[in-house]
Structure 1
Amino acid sequence: MSTPVVDFHGHLAVPAADALVAGTPGFAAELAAEQRAHSPESLSVNRAQLRQLAGKLTSVPERLADLDAMDVDIQVVGPMPMHHYWSDENLAGRLAHTVNEAVAAHCAEAPERLFGLGSVPLQHPALAVELLEWAVTGLGLYGVSVSTTVDGRELADPAHDPVWAKAEELGAVVFVHPWGCSLGERLATRYLGNTVGQPVETTVALSHLIFTGVLDRFPGLKLVAAHGGGYLPTYVGRSDHAWRVREDARGCAEPPSAYLRRMWFDALVYTPRALCHLVEEVGADRVVLGTDHPFDMGVSNPLARLDAAGLAPAERAAIAGGNALDLLLKGRTR
């Protein structure tokens, strides 16, 4: 039998989690920052899209119908990437429990086709370690989704080392998916906050993880980057050059490009040429399909886009599903 087709990048809305933060000062501040970072026109389009997609973001039958239409056998389903890292320990714990239980329940309706990722409160690392273990060993999730910064703190901050250590121990996936952009008002016009800003955020977050030696300390960490890893694979030669010529840039043991082959990247780069370049830079064994289902910045024809790249049959099969299954299932503690 052929290897199943796996989409590594699907989203789930959790209304019960939204209710927990509604009316809190932290959420009000989060919304205010979002309003500054997008034009009124973009905010209106976003709100309309969320209303339109409500069923696809919560209904298992609607999700499975979409997967069938895309010829996708399995989808990795993670929460909407709003982790509310501003929340205090009590609220953060309730949020993680609510989100992770919702993801597990959603995937349990079609366990052969839906593999779940949860959320952990990285702003409280000890709690995050506890909840990561519970998500994987208690709820059967395959890892967690994280954003690119933690209330202004970089993912590469040493405070998060216990979380990466636990993820490495459990064989859990850590899916890096940005929410918003720290450039704020500079990218508010014409939806640049998402179009340009989200790839920038991913590029910066991954660069911190590489240059500060996090991936040296945790070589077994299963780190997966959304949106093809942002701009990093495209211009990693500049990072290598800095590492070679500047002592102050040499916080990692190897040239930065070497670490691209220690991460995984989804194939959501839109054009055959871009996908071929991603494969050339990171290796075909480090790329997985990603649709960003069901949002408009995603794609509904991932296999057609993969085929348009004209890769060798073995590379095509690996990206279509083989890499994802190896990543999800090998070395996993349950």
Structure 2
Amino acid sequence: MTTPPTVDVHAHVLLPEIEALVDGLPGLADAKALDARRNGPAALKVNGPMIGERIPRLTDSSARLAAMDTQGVDVQLVSPSPSHYHYWADEQTAEKVYRLANEATAAHCAATPERLRGLGLVPLQHPEQLRRALDHALAQGLAGVEISSHAPGRELSDPAYEPFWAGAEETGAIVFLHPFGCTLDERLDQWYLSNSVGQPTENAVALSHLIFSGVLDRHPGLKIIAAHGGGYLPTHIGRADHAWRARSDSGSGCAHLPSSYLRRLYFDSLVHDPYVLRELVRVAGADRVLLGSDFPFDMGTEDPVAALRAARLSDVDFHAVRGGNATALLRKD
């Protein structure tokens, strides 16, 4: 039996043209200041050089492919850097951002479509634009779109997003849930807690909104991939199950036990701990976990296959996570 290709579903592209587009616009300075407060000065000093040395792999498809060869990765699902969300932007700017992001990501992947698949962006801050943005991404040949864990003033459970969820389900688009920033703000502005604690927190909160609000009941065909292994939620889902059973206010929005919805979602394998990865596979199912590296950032892994092998899964589960599940998902797309 032939083994599937190795597929990394969590890899990013940097699009300088987007930053050139928004440079100097009202709102950008405030957004940067908020980001700086949330991360803290020590993190900002590290971030610049870290990104700078990774520019070739983030922007040049040839450098990307060479790095993939070194890692033993056959296919990447490439999404824009979350720094390109720009959820502060007005309607006109937001449309320019998503169009440019979708077209530039598609162009980055176009040279080697057998190895690079792409995801676009949608402006969560303008719900009325979401379906148009999704359709635009799909028209570029992209497999779906990437979103953050929330937009200013809106959670993913907001009723205004219902047309977007319906559209994603109808079209079979992949929705990659990748947080950017954490609303715990300055409480996490030291020791890079904004990322190490903030990102898994945001994943858990966003997924909980999708579960408890009934979004996954209303749209069971959604193809949502949660970055960072879904954060804290999969390994602490027992508390959510208890609340659903014990309290009428907790269980009023979703029809089933919260843990059952984990098997309706997909999760990348980027949890940085083989025991946590084994638990993720146990609670979500081996068919719902996909290889992810966060290529090429420092909070990712340089060797995602070795990280997966360290979990000591069965051969069948190992190959499913390594590439079989993602191959099937992308083939459906």
2:8 aligns with: 7
Distance in 2 between the 1:202 and 1:2 partners? 31
Whole-angstrom CA distance in 1 between matches of 2:331 and 2:91: 31
- Who is 2:113 aligned against? 111
Q: Structure 1 counterpart of 2:156, which letter?
A: L
| Residue of structure 2 in register with 1:275 after alignment | 277
User: Corresponding residue for 2:292?
Assistant: 290
Partner residue, 1:73: 74
**CA apart distance, 1:27:** 1.1
Structure-2 separation of matches of 1:255 and 1:49: 42
Question: Which of 124, 128, 131 is the matching residue for 2:130?
Answer: 128
Report deviation, 1:308.
1.6
Specify the alignment match of 2:34 in structure 1.
Answer: 33
Normalised by the size of structure 2, how large is the TM-score?
0.97
Partner of 1:173: 174
Is the Cα–Cα contact under 8 Å of residues 228 and 268 in structure 2 kept in the other structure? yes
| Contact 2:125 2:151 (C-alpha < 8 Å) held by counterparts | yes
Give distance in 2, aligned partners of 1:40 and 1:85: 23
Superposed structure 1 runs of 4+ greater than 3 Å apart: none
Deviation at residue 126 of structure 1 after TM alignment: 2.7
Question: In the aligned structure 1, how far is the partner of 2:331 from the partner of 2:164?
Answer: 20
Name 2:52's counterpart in structure 1.
51
Secondary structure of the corresponding residue to residue 254 of structure 1? coil
Kindly indicate whether the alpha-carbon contact (under 8 Å) linking 2:99 and 2:136 is maintained by their aligned counterparts in 1.
no
Secondary structure class of the residue paired with 1:23 = coil
1:29 deviates by: 1.0
Count the aligned residue pairs: 330
Amino acid at match of 1:27: L
C-alpha separation between the residues in 2 aligned to 1:86 and 1:34?
Answer: 12
Hey, what does 2:155 align to over in structure 1? 154
Q: How far apart, in 2, do the equivalents of 1:277 and 1:284 lie?
A: 10
Q: Tell me how far 1:134 sits from its aligned partner.
A: 2.0
Q: Normalised by the size of structure 1, how large is the TM-score?
A: 0.97
User: How many Å apart are 1:306 and its aligned residue?
Assistant: 1.3
Name the residue aligned to 1:235.
236
Q: Secondary structure at the match of 2:191?
A: helix
Letter paired with 1:72: V
SS in 1 for 2:202: helix
1:47 CA drift (Å): 1.1
What is the DSSP-based 3-state SS (H/G/I as helix, E as strand, rest coil) of the residue aligned with 2:59? coil
**What SS class does the counterpart of residue 55 from structure 1 fall into?**
helix
> Which residue identity is paired with 1:25?
P
Cα deviation 1:263-306 (Å, max 9, x = unaligned): 00000011211111110111000000000000000001111111
Work out whether residues 7 and 322 of structure 2, in 8 Å CA contact, stay in contact via their aligned partners in 1: yes
Superposed displacement of residue 328, structure 1: 1.9
SS of residue in 2 equivalent to 1:261: helix
Match of 2:313 among 311, 314, 326: 311
2:16 partner letter = P
Which runs of structure 2 are paired with 1:316-327 in the superposition (5 Å)? Answer: 316-327=318-329
Contact 2:274/2:308 (CA < 8 Å) preserved in 1? yes
**How far is 1:259 from its partner?**
0.3
Give the whole-Å Cα distance in 2 for the aligned partners of 1:146 and 1:255.
Answer: 25
Tell me the equivalent position of 2:142. Answer: 141
Please report how far the alpha carbon of residue 39 of structure 1 lies from its aligned counterpart in structure 2 after TM superposition.
2.2
Amino acid at match of 1:229: G
Q: SS of the counterpart of 2:77? A: strand
Contact 2:39 2:186 in 1 (8 A): yes
Tell me how far apart the structure 1 counterparts of residues 142 and 99 of structure 2 sit (CA, whole Å): 12
User: 2:160, 2:304 → 1: CA distance?
Assistant: 37
Per-residue deviation, 1:152: 3.0
| Counterpart Cα distance in 1 of 2:289 and 2:309 | 14
Measure, in 1, the Cα distance between the counterparts of 2:328 and 2:221. 14
Amino acid at match of 2:203: T
Equivalent residue of 2:29, what SS?
Answer: helix
